[in-house]
Amino acid sequence: MKKRLAAILLVFTLIFGVAPAQSIFAASNNIEDAAVYHTPKDDYKSGDCILTASKCMIRRALIMKGSKAWATVTNKTLRGSATVLGQLLNSFTFEADGLAFKIGCGYFSGNGDAARTKEIENLLKQHPEGIVVWGSNSSKNGTHGLLVTGVKSGVVYAADSLHNTGNLSKGIQKWSETSMKGVSKVTKYWYIKEVGLAKNAPQPANGQPIKPISASDGNYASTLSISNPSIPGTLKQGKGFSVKGIINSNYKITKVTVGVYDIAGKAVTSKTIKPKTWSYNLANIDSYIKFGTVPVGTFTYKITAWDEKDSAVLVNTAYTVTGTSKLKIKSYNAPKNLKKGSSYSIKGKITSNHKLTSVSVKVLDKDGNVKYQASANPNKKSYNVKKLDSKIKFGKLKKGTYHYVVEASDTIKSKTLVNKKFKVK
Helix or strand run (H / E) with residue 99: strand 99-107
CA distance to 218, 220, 222, 251, per residue, from 213 (Å): 8, 5, 9, 14
Q: What is the pLDDT of residue 414?
A: 92
pLDDT-flagged residues of the chain (< 70): 1-29, 140-141, 200-221
- Residue 220 has a pLDDT of 57
**314-335 residue pLDDT tens:** 999 999 998 888 999 999 999 9
Going from N- to C-terminal start, the domains of the chain cover 25-197, 222-322, 328-424
Phi first, then psi: what are they for 108, rounded to 5°? -75, 155
Residue 37 to residue 63: CA distance in whole angstroms: 12
**Residue-level length of the chain:** 425
CA distances from 205 to 62, 68, 69, 210, 220 (A): 11, 7, 6, 12, 18
User: Could you give phi then psi for residue 10, rounded to 5 degrees?
Assistant: -65, -40
Pairing of strands 414-424, 337-338: parallel
**Residues 222-322, CATH architecture:** Sandwich (2.60)
What is the model's pLDDT at position 241? 95
In 224-265, the DSSP E strands lie at: 225-227, 234-236, 246-261
Residue 281 CA: distances (Å) to CA of 63, 122, 256:
16, 11, 11
Structure confidence at residue 12 (pLDDT): 36
Q: What's residue 279's pLDDT?
A: 85
User: At a CB cut-off of 8 Å and minimum separation 6, what does 281 contact?
Assistant: 125, 128, 245, 246
What is the DSSP secondary structure assignment for residue 411, as one 8-state letter? S
Residue 378 phi, psi (nearest 5)? -65, -40
What's the pLDDT tens digit per position in 303-313? 999 988 889 99
Under CATH, domain 328-424 is a member of which superfamily? chitin-binding protein cbp21 (2.70.50.50)
